[in-house]
Structure 1
């Protein structure tokens, strides 16, 4: 289920997500959005609607101390707050001493990050990233549109989501696209 797309362009992060809720062979179009703003952050989730609800409504975003590089902040302060939030919310799981959560994208201060289900913080070398069952399809669209220099960032995100919807049974519109200043 799901396709979340993130794109960085001229200091702004754009993020879009679909509306599919999939369980087995059942598909529901959900009104609760998979991409949202939280203070300076934009986020888009896959894995579980419960995880997304906790991130959106329960996560206490930690203070970013002056002088602390953004990536270090994300790896330490931010992700530790996410771990606590998901654990307290009953979503995170521990197996053989290892915590696991879910996968989501975060846009913050003009940068894009991917948080993995093992709480690792990835920073793509490209100016885009996608997660969910439609991620490869969306990445192909973003790669091509970047090389061809086609479309504004909002259109590129929409086209990537449309490519994923066209070729993946787990991705459906309507699409929600948001952005924030870097």
Structure 2
């Protein structure tokens, strides 16, 4: 359970996340942040703290060859390395030959990407995205705050998700790259 929010503003990616660790009816406020940078990437994860730890500390972002469009790089080279990292770290799952991981947002070179549990890479036309149990609430808040400063929009989206979702709790962490 969580809420991760990202948006693009003036060529920069802003991302925020909550601090809830939820299992069943248990709630723990975690000190290990769900939003972090790894090299030239800003990431925010849902699904599992183990996945987030692998992305933060084990994942080595692959080289982006000049001339390769960013979408192509993210869908191929980047995701292939993520899959390898999650598999080697014991997180990736396989069910009837179908591989799955978790959901997370990635900011890279001023673009925001949504990585789904089947490793498909999405880029939303609105210039913002949210993931986790509070994602729909956050999307509405991001839409309604268009034109306000990015940190304010993210904070408002996270506050709305906290107010209306049992799986979202502050403190909130907001970073940019």
- Which category of TM-score, normalised to the shorter sequence, fits these structures? over 0.9
Q: Which residue of 2 aligns with 1:22?
A: 22
Question: Aligned equivalents of 1:132 and 1:35: distance in 2?
Answer: 13
2:160 corresponds, among 143, 163, 180, to 163
RMSD across aligned positions (CA)? 0.5
Provide the aligned length of Structure 1 versus Structure 2. 177
The structural deviation recorded for 1:85 is 0.2
Question: Aligned equivalents of 1:52 and 1:125: distance in 2?
Answer: 26
Question: Aligned equivalents of 1:43 and 1:164: distance in 2?
Answer: 19
The structural deviation recorded for 1:60 is 1.5
The structural deviation recorded for 1:177 is 0.2
2:150 is the counterpart of 1:153:
yes
2:174 is the counterpart of 1:177:
yes
State the TM-score, normalized to the length of structure 1. 0.96
Question: Aligned equivalents of 1:69 and 1:15: distance in 2?
Answer: 23
Question: Aligned equivalents of 1:24 and 1:128: distance in 2?
Answer: 29
Question: Aligned equivalents of 1:133 and 1:108: distance in 2?
Answer: 24
Residues 33-62 of structure 1 deviation map (CA, whole Å, 9 limit, x = unaligned): 000001110000000000000000000110
The structural deviation recorded for 1:16 is 0.1
Question: Aligned equivalents of 2:105 and 2:55: distance in 1?
Answer: 11
SS where residue 31 of structure 1 aligns?
coil
Q: Could you list the runs of 5+ residues in structure 1 that have no partner in the other structure? A: none
Q: Could you list the runs of 5+ residues in structure 2 that have no partner in the other structure? A: none
SS where residue 67 of structure 1 aligns?
coil
State the TM-score, normalized to the length of structure 2. 0.99
Residues 97-152 of structure 1 deviation map (CA, whole Å, 9 limit, x = unaligned): 11100000000000000000000001111110000000000000000111xx2x21
Q: Which residue of 2 aligns with 1:141?
A: 141
Would you identify which runs of 4 or more consecutive aligned residues in structure 1 move more than 3 Å?
A: none
Q: Which residue of 1 aligns with 2:121?
A: 121
SS where residue 171 of structure 1 aligns?
coil
SS where residue 67 of structure 2 aligns?
coil
Q: In the TM superposition, what are the counterparts of 1:9-88 in structure 2 within 5 Å?
A: 9-88=9-88
The structural deviation recorded for 1:93 is 0.6
